[in-house]
């Protein structure tokens, strides 16, 4: 029986599994089922192992829930309580729906990572096949050592990965379709939801606040599309609308962006005018006050505001990751052109922009590195899309020019030095000495292994070496053995090594003997194993002595 | 390189030169030689500023007695700073070539907001607040009071400057706004007052139009500038509006309410002072009797730039007895105010001339013309006497008294319109009295009279002859230079029809037409699919843009555009628009591409450049006519017709086309730049409209691209964009639109240049 500390989230009675009545338990980390009248679980799955759940269609007589595992196995539960079967099933389904994604992410990430590593590294993959698939060691052991690497490489990988931006028109992609009976249907994909969340963090916050405690996911999105927030041109705001707060938050965000001002002084309209006319002077009339604007006009203004905000948010979502908080802090302080310390930040931006603005590049003599102009013979091809390039390493055109020049220079200056060559007798004796069987080649009489052994045997030997190396690495990494865990491990590793010798090495030896090849091919491998064994024996006898 | 411009040695800080720059300098030199005024048009991005600076600096060095100062007026703060940076480049070139450091002093001047370094004052956001706060710390009587009470707050920068700053002139060099601030910080001097003091002996001053054209500021800042100066108005295509703005006054009920409060405060202060310090008022009275002799002496000796608000006659006379004492003057103000209040109570629109107004005021409240004219001066004197620290609080009463002086001084060129409500909201009473200047020459007249050469220049001044007419001056040179191009980097297209042959136009009758709006939307959509990076679209007015955006939204056009590019839209709020602009640039920069929807005559169309990928296409939806129903505009058109013989339609078209040219010109900022210019209105095809575009745009419109459909325009654009995307090297330009010194000196080239220049 599972430990008592496990939290049970849901208990459903009268659930049949394999025609046996029982009780279904949903716990914090796993789902379990036990037959009636017994106090142990015959079925128990960690949530992380579950790939998905399936339910029987509504109309069906049997109300079932199927769990599909990552391994491909599946377990089916049949809810047999007549009065509340449907309700029970839905409760279980809802709960699973919330629980699974949490574990899924973690599991998926690990799986993906492992999968990726195996794909990227053929040696590792072979090792995996040799050791895990042939069940010399189990997968966990195999990964136990690797995962440390994963975590360290992971961060580096994430830094390199480029964030994918958001389409500006993602809201336009959610075209409502009429479903034929006075309703609208919105199709949401995970991508769109992700886009919405990234663009409007306020909605994401609402989502995490309300789903699943107050609303189901479906209800949430229904309300989202009904809300004034989505249809910003509708002015009448219901106060009970959960999104009215989002709108306010957005408004605030927009305001703070506006207050923050702009970094580039050349586009700052506020400080453009040097000396504005005092109030009351000037030919133009004062702008109409906002109070007497009609509803239509203010709704138009709202649309315009919304577009600006939307575009800004989309833009920000694309570049949000790169910015570090300190960066932002310095930016904000540098934007406020009036505060005193900001003056120390401001000039550089301003200077650069001013210099850019007064630059006439064509009036100056060029002193940039010379580049080769693109000479198009067929401009059609240029106009019709790019061709993928395979090579990753580019040399700049300057490099190419340099090297061409260099080679040209070399060739021009090349003169064969005919007086200082070897005499023909000396040359032929040198060739004879260097040919196989010659004076200088005696040391190399032993033929290289690649000439003696057929390639498939070579390959096999390579794999054996890799596998043995891996196992030995595990083995040696246990020393010095100073914890009970390591003791256990070292013993296990020893048996792994023996098993390896039995299942892999010996058949190989027999094979090469059958092919009458020199048996000392595996000599070194055996030597290594023997060293490990003797080390193990030394350690074991010492341990015995200490115990006695 | 060193150039020989008509016998003058000009240092030009680049290795190459555009032919039109050479022509421009030649023309400019003639203007200076003749000591007259000039109107010069040259496309933006052809190095107008550096040509101007190179020539005038060379002229100043060659004839230091003929031209003592260059006053360079530009419109926006970034423009001012750009000019100073270009000047710095030129000066560095000079010292490198001649090997000696020259003793030129050049500086930029801007408002306190941009120059203040006082920690508290400079943290205020708005220019007016900064001015007010500064005044409250540095006004003369505030400082006098501090002698008796040292605990009063002071501005240490000003005190320091006042103590030692005037003794040693600012060392020679180029001072941008930030340099002035740095210098001020190092020395502990106030940069603003340092700059204001230093412009008197600087060789080059760069500041904004207002310091010369707005009489209220010009009187403070610029009146002592030397007569032998050259004045340059850059980006001057809107100069008439700046002139008019500086002389017009609007009075609302709110103004009068605030004015009432001001007058009450004045009264109380007078009472208080009377009890404590009656001598002060007596002293003021004595001064009033003496009259404004000082100013009159100064003007006669030609030291001052005359102030159009302060007419000559006033200076001869003493202040009339009716407003000489403080109490009488306050009473006078009250009467005047009550009269204005009664005028604002009208139920229908009233329009009258200034003499009519003066007659009416005399009949109703017995206020004579003469005391009215002294109103502004009298109030200034009173405010000084009463030692009122925060002038900003008294803006309302200052406004009223300025109005009084203006209305009684000018019998022509102004009109008074009283509107009881806005046209769009006839039910809401919001009476406004517009005192509107219709003659831009009034404000600029003193500038033309005082300074020996005034050069008006911009990228878009076509048709050239209209500016001398509306500004009432006689130029010695007028020239328009085109942009010589090695490749046609601009592509103006006039789209007159939709794909369904619906005529595209923003004219009033078809404004609400869905077919037109849809076709406009299609045009933008199609363009968004083929144009790389940034597209800027301009609408004729903000209301029009709002309506179109709303109906595009309903029709789903915007959503489709969003698939191609992000959309940013100008709003009436400047801060919000700035943010949108920056995001727009960011989106262009990171390759996503964006569209900016904006308004002609708006801030974006006037002040922001869309270089290179920030604007690969500009679409002008409709012809940006000014709102013709406004009574002020009608009055101005009438005035132009009667006094300058300019027909209404001519002026309206001229005004619309200069704004359109401004908008589309935003995208081309140089010869390496390229961009589409799409005029989406069939009216652009007419000769009277097309003929008013600048020459450098006009000459690239061929007859085939006069009335295109959307599809045709897309095809042409695709072709153009592909061609432009090919590499463009310096060698391609050399000899055609870019010259080396040797090429420039060849006889053949000189002939060619003069031929191009005299096509006009």
Q: What is the mean pLDDT of chain A?
A: 73
Contact across the interface for B575 and A259, Cβ inside 8 Å: yes
What are the strands, taking DSSP E only, across B12-68? 37-41
Q: Is B411 a residue whose pLDDT tops 80?
A: yes
Banded model confidence at residue B483, pLDDT cuts 50, 70, 90: confident
pLDDT of residue A337: 39
Please identify among residues 403-422 of chain B the ones whose CB lies closer than 8 Å to any CB of chain A.
422
Nearest-neighbour CA in chain A from B293: distance (Å): 29
Partner A contacted by B217 (CB < 8 A): yes
* Residue predicted with more confidence, B678 or A373: B678
Q: In this predicted structure, which of A4-8, A130-134, A359-363, B515-519 has the lowest mean pLDDT?
A: A4-8
Q: How far apart are CA A271 and CA B371, in angstroms?
A: 39
Banded model confidence at residue A345, pLDDT cuts 50, 70, 90: very low
Q: For residues B220-247, give the mean pLDDT.
A: 88
Nearest chain B Cα to A304, which residue?
B569
Tell how strand A63-69 and strand A74-79 pair up. Answer: antiparallel
Partner B contacted by A177 (CB < 8 A): no
Partner B contacted by A440 (CB < 8 A): no
A354 interaction partners in chain B (CB closer than 8 Å)? 78, 81-82, 85
Q: How far apart are CA B593 and CA B529, in angstroms?
A: 10
The most confident of the ranges A143-157, A215-229, B485-499 is B485-499
Q: In this predicted structure, which of A198-202, A448-452, B147-151 has the lowest mean pLDDT?
A: A448-452
pLDDT of residue A145: 65
pTM for the model = 0.73
The helix (run of H) or strand (run of E) holding residue B251 is strand B249-252
Q: What is the mean pLDDT of chain B?
A: 87
Nearest chain A Cα to B739, which residue?
A363
Residues ≥6 apart with Cβ < 8 Å to A36: A20, A21, A22, A23
Name the nearest CA neighbour of A201 among A232, A174, A166: A166
Name the nearest CA neighbour of B373 among B402, B341, B397: B402
Partner B contacted by A367 (CB < 8 A): no
Tally C-beta pairs within 8 A across A and B.
248
Contact across the interface for B123 and A340, Cβ inside 8 Å: yes
pLDDT of residue B676: 94
Q: How far apart are CA B587 and CA B590, in angstroms?
A: 5
Angle in degrees, 0-180, between the axes of helices B542-555 and B557-564, rounded to the nearest 10: 90
Give DSSP secondary structure letters for B143-200: HHHHHH-TTS---HHHHHIIIIITTSPPPSEEE-HHHHHHHHHHHT--HHHHHHHHTT
> DSSP label at A504?
I
Contact A140, A146 (CB under 8 A): no
pLDDT of residue A332: 38
Number of residues assigned to chain B: 760
Q: For residues A139-160, give the mean pLDDT.
A: 58
Give whole-number Cα distances, B538 to B147, B400, B601, B615, in Å.
Answer: 58, 38, 9, 12
Contact across the interface for A288 and B251, Cβ inside 8 Å: no
pLDDT of residue B619: 95
Candidates A168, A286, A376; nearest CB to B566: A168
Partner B contacted by A266 (CB < 8 A): yes
Q: How far apart are CA B532 and CA B544, in angstroms?
A: 27
Contact across the interface for B17 and A285, Cβ inside 8 Å: no
Q: How far apart are CA B275 and CA A373, in angstroms?
A: 87
Q: For residues A394-422, give the mean pLDDT.
A: 81
Q: How many CA atoms lie within 13 A of B453 on its CB side?
A: 28
Banded model confidence at residue B714, pLDDT cuts 50, 70, 90: very high
Nearest-neighbour CA in chain B from A277: distance (Å): 7
What is the spatial order of strands in the sheet that B350-352 belongs to? B249-252, B429-437, B414-421, B350-352
Tell how strand B617-621 and strand B534-539 pair up. Answer: parallel
* Residue predicted with more confidence, A110 or B462: B462
* Residue predicted with more confidence, A277 or B382: B382
Nearest-neighbour CA in chain A from B60: distance (Å): 23
> DSSP label at A434?
H
Q: For residues A510-527, give the mean pLDDT.
A: 77
Beta partners for residue B73, in sequence order: B207, B233
pLDDT of residue A344: 45
Nearest chain A Cα to B110, which residue?
A274
Q: Residue A171 phi/psi, 5° resolution?
A: -75, -30
Q: For residues B484-512, give the mean pLDDT.
A: 90
Name the nearest CA neighbour of A205 among A169, A240, A243: A243
Contact across the interface for B581 and A262, Cβ inside 8 Å: yes
Contact across the interface for B249 and A280, Cβ inside 8 Å: yes
- CA B533 to chain centroid, in Å, comes to 30
The helix (run of H) or strand (run of E) holding residue B105 is strand B105-108
Banded model confidence at residue A310, pLDDT cuts 50, 70, 90: confident
pLDDT of residue B362: 92
Contact across the interface for B559 and A169, Cβ inside 8 Å: yes
Q: In this predicted structure, which of A8-22, A216-230, B739-753 has the lowest mean pLDDT?
A: A216-230
Name the nearest CA neighbour of B582 among B608, B617, B551, B547: B608
Instruction: Summarize pLDDT for B192-214 with one digit per residue, the tens.
Output: 989 988 998 899 999 998 888 88
pLDDT of residue A1: 44
Nearest-neighbour CA in chain A from B523: distance (Å): 18
A261 interaction partners in chain B (CB closer than 8 Å)? 575, 578-579
Give DSSP secondary structure letters for B606-624: HH----GGG-SEEEEES--
Contact B675, B616 (CB under 8 A): yes
Partner A contacted by B562 (CB < 8 A): yes
The most confident of the ranges A390-404, A424-438, B162-176, B514-528 is B514-528
Candidates B428, B574, B671; nearest CB to A270: B574
The encoded tokens of residue B48 equal 């107008």
Partner B contacted by A277 (CB < 8 A): yes
Banded model confidence at residue A322, pLDDT cuts 50, 70, 90: very low
Partner B contacted by A253 (CB < 8 A): no
Contact across the interface for A273 and B575, Cβ inside 8 Å: no
Contact B728, B488 (CB under 8 A): no
> Taking the CA atoms of chain A, what radius of gyration do you get in angstroms?
37
Banded model confidence at residue B274, pLDDT cuts 50, 70, 90: confident
Nearest chain B Cα to A281, which residue?
B249
B251 interaction partners in chain A (CB closer than 8 Å)? 280
Q: For residues A424-449, give the mean pLDDT.
A: 71
Contact across the interface for B127 and A276, Cβ inside 8 Å: yes
Contact across the interface for A262 and B566, Cβ inside 8 Å: no
Q: How far apart are CA A105 and CA B281, in angstroms?
A: 86
- What ipTM does this complex have? 0.84
* Residue predicted with more confidence, A287 or B664: B664
Partner B contacted by A268 (CB < 8 A): yes
Partner A contacted by B447 (CB < 8 A): no
Please identify among residues 103-132 of chain B the ones whose CB lies closer than 8 Å to any CB of chain A.
110-111, 113-114, 117, 119, 122-125, 127-128
Give whole-number Cα distances, A245 to A84, A303, A305, A308, A541, in Å.
Answer: 39, 18, 17, 19, 73
Q: For residues B581-590, give the mean pLDDT.
A: 91
> DSSP label at B321?
G
Q: Is B391 a residue whose pLDDT tops 60?
A: yes
Q: How far apart are CA B680 and CA B524, in angstroms?
A: 10
Q: How many CA atoms lie within 13 A of B169 on its CB side?
A: 14
Nearest chain B Cα to A260, which residue?
B579
Contact A171, B559 (CB under 8 A): yes
Q: Residue B429 phi/psi, 5° resolution?
A: -75, 125
Candidates A233, A338, A340; nearest CB to B125: A338
The helix (run of H) or strand (run of E) holding residue B567 is strand B566-569
Partner A contacted by B14 (CB < 8 A): yes
Contact across the interface for B577 and A269, Cβ inside 8 Å: yes
B553 interaction partners in chain A (CB closer than 8 Å)? 233, 303
Partner A contacted by B77 (CB < 8 A): yes
* Coil, helix or strand at residue A51: strand
Nearest-neighbour CA in chain A from B381: distance (Å): 20
Nearest-neighbour CA in chain A from B355: distance (Å): 20
Contact across the interface for A383 and B722, Cβ inside 8 Å: yes
Number of residues assigned to chain A: 548
Banded model confidence at residue B614, pLDDT cuts 50, 70, 90: very high
Contact across the interface for B738 and A363, Cβ inside 8 Å: yes
């Amino acid at each position: 029986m599972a430990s008592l500390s496990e939290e049970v989230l849901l208990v459903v009675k009268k659930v049949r599994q394999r025609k046996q009545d029982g009780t279904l338990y949903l716990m914090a980390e796993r789902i379990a089922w036990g037959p009636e009248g017994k106090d142990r679980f015959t079925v128990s799955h960690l949530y992380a192992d579950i790939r998905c759940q399936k339910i029987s269609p509504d109309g069906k007589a049997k109300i079932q829930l199927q769990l599909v595992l990552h391994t491909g196995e599946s377990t089916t539960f049949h809810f047999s309580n007549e009065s509340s079967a449907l309700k029970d099933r839905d409760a279980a389904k809802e709960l699973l729906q919330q629980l699974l994604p949490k574990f899924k992410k973690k599991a998926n990430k690990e799986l993906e990572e492992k999968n990726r590593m195996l794909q990227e590294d053929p040696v590792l993959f072979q090792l995996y096949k040799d050791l895990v698939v042939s069940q010399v060691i189990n997968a966990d052991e195999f990964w136990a050592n690797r995962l440390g690497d994963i975590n360290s490489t992971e961060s580096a990988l994430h830094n390199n990965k480029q964030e994918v931006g958001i389409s500006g028109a993602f809201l336009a992609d959610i075209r409502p379709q009429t479903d034929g009976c006075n309703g609208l249907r919105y199709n949401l994909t995970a991508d769109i939801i992700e886009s919405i969340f990234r663009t409007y963090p306020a909605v994401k916050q609402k989502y995490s606040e309300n789903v699943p405690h107050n609303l189901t996911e479906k209800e949430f999105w229904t309300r989202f599309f009904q809300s004034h927030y989505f249809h910003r041109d509708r002015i009448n705001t219901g106060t009970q609308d959960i999104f009215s707060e989002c709108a306010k938050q957005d408004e605030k965000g927009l305001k703070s962006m506006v207050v923050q001002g702009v970094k580039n002084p050349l586009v700052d309209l506020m400080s453009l005018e040097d000396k504005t006319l005092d109030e009351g002077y000037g030919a133009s009339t004062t702008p109409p006050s906002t109070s007497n604007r009609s509803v239509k006009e203010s709704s138009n203004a709202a649309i315009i505001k919304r577009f600006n905000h939307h575009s800004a948010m989309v833009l920000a979502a694309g570049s949000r990751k790169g910015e570090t908080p300190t960066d932002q802090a310095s930016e904000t302080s540098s934007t406020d052109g009036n505060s005193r310390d900001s003056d120390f930040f401001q000039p550089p931006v301003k200077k650069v922009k001013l210099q850019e603005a007064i630059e006439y590049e064509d009036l100056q003599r060029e002193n940039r590195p010379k580049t080769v102009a693109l000479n198009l013979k067929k401009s059609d091809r240029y106009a019709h899309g790019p061709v993928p390039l395979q090579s990753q390493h580019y040399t700049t055109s300057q490099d190419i020019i340099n090297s061409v020049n260099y080679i040209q220079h070399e060739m021009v200056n090349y003169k064969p030095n005919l007086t200082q060559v070897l005499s023909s007798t000396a040359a032929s004796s040198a060739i004879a000495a260097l040919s196989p069987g010659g004076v200088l080649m005696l040391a190399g009489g032993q033929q290289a292994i690649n000439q003696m052994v057929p390639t498939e045997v070579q390959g096999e030997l390579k794999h054996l070496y890799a596998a043995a190396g891996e196992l030995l690495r595990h083995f040696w990494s246990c020393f010095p053995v100073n914890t009970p865990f390591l003791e256990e491990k070292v013993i296990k590793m020893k048996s792994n090594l023996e098993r390896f010798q039995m299942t892999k090495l010996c058949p190989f030896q027999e094979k090469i003997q059958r092919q009458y090849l020199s048996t000392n091919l595996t000599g070194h491998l055996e030597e290594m194993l023997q060293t490990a064994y003797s080390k193990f024996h030394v350690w074991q006898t010492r341990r015995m002595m200490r115990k006695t | 390189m060193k150039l020989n411009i008509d016998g003058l040695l000009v240092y030009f800080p680049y290795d190459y030169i555009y032919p039109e720059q050479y022509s421009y300098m030649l023309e400019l030199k003639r203007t200076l030689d003749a000591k007259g005024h000039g109107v010069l048009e040259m496309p933006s991005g052809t190095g107008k500023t550096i040509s101007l600076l190179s020539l005038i600096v060379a002229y100043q060095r060659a004839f230091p007695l003929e031209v003592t100062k260059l006053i360079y007026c530009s419109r926006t703060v970034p423009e001012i700073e750009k000019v100073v940076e270009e000047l710095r480049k030129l000066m560095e070139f000079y010292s490198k070539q001649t090997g000696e450091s020259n003793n030129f002093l050049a500086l930029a001047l801007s408002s306190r907001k941009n120059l203040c370094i006082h920690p508290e004052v400079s943290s205020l956001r708005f220019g007016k607040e900064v001015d007010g706060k500064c005044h409250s710390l540095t006004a003369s009587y505030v400082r006098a009071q501090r002698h008796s009470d040292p605990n009063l707050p002071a501005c240490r920068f000003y005190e320091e400057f006042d103590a030692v700053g005037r003794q040693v002139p600012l060392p020679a060099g180029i001072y941008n706004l930030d340099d002035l601030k740095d210098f001020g910080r190092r020395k502990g001097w106030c940069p603003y007052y340092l700059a204001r003091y230093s412009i008197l002996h600087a060789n080059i001053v760069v500041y904004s139009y207002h310091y010369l054209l707005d009489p209220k500021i010009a009187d403070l800042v610029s009146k002592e500038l030397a007569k032998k100066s050259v004045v340059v108005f850059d980006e001057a295509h809107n100069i008439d509006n700046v002139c008019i703005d500086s002389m017009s006054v609007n009075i609302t009920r709110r103004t009068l309410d605030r004015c009432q409060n001001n007058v009450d405060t004045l009264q109380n202060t007078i009472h208080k002072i009377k009890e404590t310090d009656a001598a002060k008022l007596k002293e003021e009275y004595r001064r009033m009797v003496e009259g404004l002799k000082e100013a009159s002496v100064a003007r006669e000796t030609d030291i001052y730039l005359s102030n159009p608000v302060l007419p000559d006659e006033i200076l001869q006379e003493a202040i009339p007895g009716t407003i000489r004492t403080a109490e009488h003057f306050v009473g006078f103000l009250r009467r005047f105010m009550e009269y204005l209040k009664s005028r604002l109570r009208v139920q229908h629109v009233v329009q009258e001339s200034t003499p009519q107004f003066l007659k009416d005021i005399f009949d109703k409240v017995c206020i004579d013309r003469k005391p009215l004219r002294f109103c502004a001066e009298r109030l200034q004197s009173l405010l000084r006497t009463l030692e009122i620290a925060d002038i900003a609080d008294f803006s309302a009463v200052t406004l009223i008294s300025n109005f009084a002086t203006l209305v009684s001084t000018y019998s022509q060129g102004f009109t008074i319109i009283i509107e009881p409500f806005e046209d769009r909201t006839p039910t809401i009473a919001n009476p406004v009295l517009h005192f509107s200047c219709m003659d831009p020459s009034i404000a600029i007249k003193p500038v033309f009279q005082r300074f020996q050469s005034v050069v008006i220049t911009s990228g878009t001044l076509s048709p050239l002859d209209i500016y001398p007419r509306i500004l009432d001056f006689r130029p010695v040179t007028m020239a328009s230079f085109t942009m010589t191009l090695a490749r046609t980097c601009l592509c103006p297209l006039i789209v007159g029809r939709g794909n369904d042959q619906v005529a595209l136009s923003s004219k009033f009758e078809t404004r609400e037409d869905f077919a037109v709006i849809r076709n406009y939307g299609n045009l933008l959509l199609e363009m968004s699919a083929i144009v790389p990076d940034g597209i800027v679209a301009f609408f004729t007015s903000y209301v029009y843009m709002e309506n179109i955006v709303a109906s595009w939204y309903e029709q789903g056009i915007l959503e489709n555009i969003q698939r191609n590019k992000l959309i940013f839209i100008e709003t009436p709020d400047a801060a919000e628009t700035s943010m949108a602009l920056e995001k727009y640039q960011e989106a262009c920069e990171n390759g996503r591409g964006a569209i900016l929807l904006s308004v002609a005559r708006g801030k974006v169309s006037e002040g922001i450049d869309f270089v290179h990928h920030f604007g690969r296409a500009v679409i002008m939806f409709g012809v940006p006519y000014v709102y013709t129903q406004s009574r002020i505009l009608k009055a101005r058109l009438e005035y132009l017709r009667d006094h300058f013989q300019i027909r209404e339609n001519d002026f309206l078209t001229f005004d619309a086309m200069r704004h359109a040219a401004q908008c589309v010109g935003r995208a081309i900022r140089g010869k390496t730049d390229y961009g589409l210019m799409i005029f989406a209105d069939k009216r652009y095809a007419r000769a009277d409209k097309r003929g008013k575009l600048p020459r450098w745009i006009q000459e690239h419109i061929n007859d085939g691209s006069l009335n295109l459909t959307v599809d045709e325009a897309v095809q042409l654009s695709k072709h153009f964009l592909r061609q432009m995307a090919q590499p463009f090297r310096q060698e391609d330009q050399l000899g055609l639109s870019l010259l080396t010194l040797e090429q420039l000196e060849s006889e053949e080239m000189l002939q060619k240049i003069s031929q191009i220049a005299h096509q006009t």
